[in-house]
Amino acid sequence: MTISLYDTAARRTREFAPLRPGQVSIYLCGATVQAPPHIGHIRSGIVFDVMSRWFAHRGFEVTLVRNVTDIDDKIIARADDEGIPFWQLAMRNERAFAAAYDVLGCLPPAGEPRATGHVPEMIVLMQQLIDAGHAYPAGGDVYFDVASWPQYGELSGQRPDEMLPAADGTSDAKRDPRDFALWKSAKPGEPSWPTPWGAGRPGWHLECSAMVHKYLGSAFDIHGGGLDLVFPHHENEIAQSKAAGDDFATYWLHNYWVTTSGEKMSKSLGNSLLVTEVVQRVRPIELRYYLVASHYRSHMEFSEGALQEAGAGFRRLESFVRRATERVGSTEPGIVCADFEQAMDNDFGVPAALAAVHEVARDGNKALTAGDDAATRGSLASVRAMLGVLGVDPLADPWASRAGGGNELREVVDALVTAQLAARNQARADKDFTTADAIRDSLAAAGIAIDDTAEGAHWSLLEEN
């Protein structure tokens, strides 16, 4: 079976063929650290974390590089508003992103370069473009000459003669209004670095091309990012990297947005949902489940109801995993089922993959009820393997060591519920059914469901039934 993925550049699904046998190289446009992350920001990191996990599951050695843009107009403006250096604001928010990736279970990338640490590589790239006739200095700025690159617009499908002027730089210094800034000349009070063309700071697009080349070379497999980056950012990356002689990315993958009221989530709309706030309302593992449950090329319309519904769906799977583990003991992740594999190989089709997980869990619950330990153990191993690919195995790190993930908090609740169940059992033995029913009702009011089986009573969260 082969892995197929939807390539934005080709506008079709293509069979994945790595440049190097057994290896996958991925560059992901990471955070511009102007503010702490909301769940719209973090979806991209989670999407490509799942992709990386699936490639690894299929036997590939994965190299994921996710950059940090730690210098741009908004970072400078916000730092000025707070009266602090730009680097202080950038580092504070970079730490916030790192904490969000960690709490939501993202594996660390192989590399996480910062833009400000790669100015020498940017200077080399600009010189190559100037020497090749694809860029020119003007008044301390350096611009890419769009007219010199006939393929410009191919990724986004736009016609150059219908494009609006590039928003960066000084229009009267450009040869063509569409030309975009590779380097911006220094302004009073702003950070700057020396170059042969004068002091200044890098343009956004130049940063990624320089870092890609340093860490992944002149050719790599997959370039990823949010849909909003297709133009101008990724279009400009392609132009400047290929104009400098790199083959650049073989495939382009873009995740779609998390929206609220039909609009892209953003600080300017005032509708952002910070990760630190959301994980106070739901467990981090449930937030991750919510963010992975939709196909990465589907817009997600956020609502509290949808978040709670996703949490209930995860808890049904978690309930099976925990009950089965109590019955048959610790079981290592096993083999994913054929339907799950087929769904993930088909452009990372997580919705269909999750349907397969729930089906295996249902079979496992039936085996539990029937007392079939061998079937229970097989279902448990398979469910854990599939949840592990999605990064939501409730028994695996980092979730196993976190409150609410089946650890200290659950142990406390389990002790309290067990005491209530013992009192209920005694009341039933004494034929005091009024008291027994009252205990069951009080547990139900607290969100605890009781399942009376031949082996005794089991409890679960009410939503898990």
Q: How far apart are CA 33 and CA 52, in angstroms?
A: 23
User: For residue 411, what pLDDT is reported?
Assistant: 55
Residues facing 24 on adjacent strands: 62
Q: Read off the DSSP letter of residue 185.
A: E
User: For residue 406, what pLDDT is reported?
Assistant: 41
310-338 CB burial, b ≥16 within 10 A, e <16: bbebbbbbbbbbbbbbebbeebebbebbe
Q: How far apart are CA 389 and CA 20, in angstroms?
A: 23
Q: How far apart are CA 156 and CA 235, in angstroms?
A: 7
Q: What is the pLDDT along the chain (465 residues), one digit of tens a residue?
A: 699 999 999 999 999 999 999 999 999 999 999 999 999 999 999 999 999 999 999 999 999 999 999 999 999 999 999 999 999 999 999 999 999 999 999 999 999 999 999 999 999 999 999 999 999 999 899 999 999 999 999 999 988 877 888 877 666 789 999 999 999 999 999 999 999 999 999 999 999 999 999 999 999 999 999 999 999 999 999 999 999 999 999 999 999 999 887 777 765 555 568 999 999 889 999 999 999 999 999 999 999 999 999 999 999 999 999 999 999 998 999 999 999 999 999 999 999 999 999 999 999 999 999 999 999 999 999 999 999 999 999 998 666 655 444 444 555 566 677 778 878 888 888 888 888 888 888 888 777 878 776 556 767 665 443
* Structure token digits, residue 1: 């079976």
How far CA 339 is from CA of 270, 336, 359, 383, in Å, comes to: 41, 8, 10, 12
Cis preceding linkage at 21, omega within 30? no
CATH 1.20.120.640 domain position(s) in the chain: 306-401
| Encoded amino acid at 238, one letter | I
Q: Among 1.20.120.640, 3.90.420.10, 3.40.50.720, 1.10.1500.10, what is the CATH number of 306-401?
A: 1.20.120.640
User: For residue 436, what pLDDT is reported?
Assistant: 82
| Encoded amino acid at 415, one letter | A
Q: How far apart are CA 144 and CA 232, in angstroms?
A: 13
> What residue has token string 């349907």?
355
* Structure token digits, residue 155: 């990724």
Q: How far apart are CA 246 and CA 239, in angstroms?
A: 10
119-150 CB burial, b ≥16 within 10 A, e <16: bebbbebbbbbbeeebbbbbebbbbbbbebbe
Residues facing 184 on adjacent strands: 201
Q: What is the CATH number of domain 4-264?
A: 3.40.50.620
Q: How far apart are CA 44 and CA 28, in angstroms?
A: 9
User: For residue 325, what pLDDT is reported?
Assistant: 95
* Structure token digits, residue 346: 């088909």
Residue ranges with strand state E in 59-210: 61-66, 135-138, 141-144, 180-185, 200-202
Q: Transcribe 213-253 into DSSP letters.
A: HHHH-SEEEEEEEEGGGIIIIIHHHHHHHHHTT--EEEEEE
> What's the full length of the chain, in residues?
465
Q: How far apart are CA 89 and CA 83, in angstroms?
A: 10
Burial-class residue 83 by CB neighbours within 10 Å (0-12, 13-18, 19+).
exposed
Closest CA to 255 of 30, 71, 22, 447: 30
Q: How far apart are CA 337 and CA 382, in angstroms?
A: 7
Closest CA to 460 of 315, 361, 325, 347: 315
Q: How far apart are CA 269 and CA 117, in angstroms?
A: 32
Do residues 207 and 29 lie in contact, with contact meaning Cβ atoms separated by under 8 Å?
no
User: For residue 247, what pLDDT is reported?
Assistant: 97
CATH 3.40.50.620 domain position(s) in the chain: 4-264
Do residues 83 and 77 lie in contact, with contact meaning Cβ atoms separated by under 8 Å?
no
Whole-model pTM: value is 0.86
